[in-house]
Amino acid sequence: MSVDAGIRLERLRSLFSRPLEMREKTGRSASFCSDLLNGRKSFGEKLARDLEEELKLPRGWFDQTDQAAQKPELDEEAELLEAFRALNGDPIARAKVLAYAAGVSSSAASKLGESPVAEASLKAVNQ
């Protein structure tokens, strides 16, 4: 394994601890993700750039050796929560966000609102 591939693999493992996690975010097969994370698949330049694009990472992110580089935010739930909070007074937009969140995951939807209105909207969306 080349030095670059080793760095890329280390960075990939900082994002995903399990193949199924990677599969959910990239849409690639579970066997591909497992082989890549376990070093059985070559992690070359083209694959690194493709994954950066798929994961919306800056170009070259997998090649960075800076230990201080932070793990990028890949969490849609956090984005949904921020969007929901920005929709403070718009019940129609809030309902759309809740409907989308319910489709993404029930845990994301349950985190979106702590008010009775949000909870009622969530129940209506899930029925």
From first to last of the 127 residues of the chain, give the pLDDT tens digit.
Answer: 565 778 899 999 999 989 999 999 999 999 999 999 999 999 999 999 999 999 988 888 898 876 545 555 556 666 666 676 777 666 666 677 667 666 654 444 445 444 455 555 555 555 5
Structure tokens at 87: 């929709």
Name the phi and psi angles at 35, rounded to 5: -60, -40
* CA distances from residue 119 to 95, 96, 123 in whole angstroms, order as listed: 10, 14, 6
Instruction: Return the domain boundaries, the chain.
Output: 3-63, 76-126
pTM above 0.85, yes or no: no
pLDDT of residue 116: 53
pLDDT at 109: 45
CA angle (51 as vertex; 108, 9 as ends), nearest 5? 100
At a CB cut-off of 8 Å and minimum separation 6, what does 22 contact? 12, 15, 16, 28, 33, 36, 37
Side chain identity at residue 79, one-letter code: E
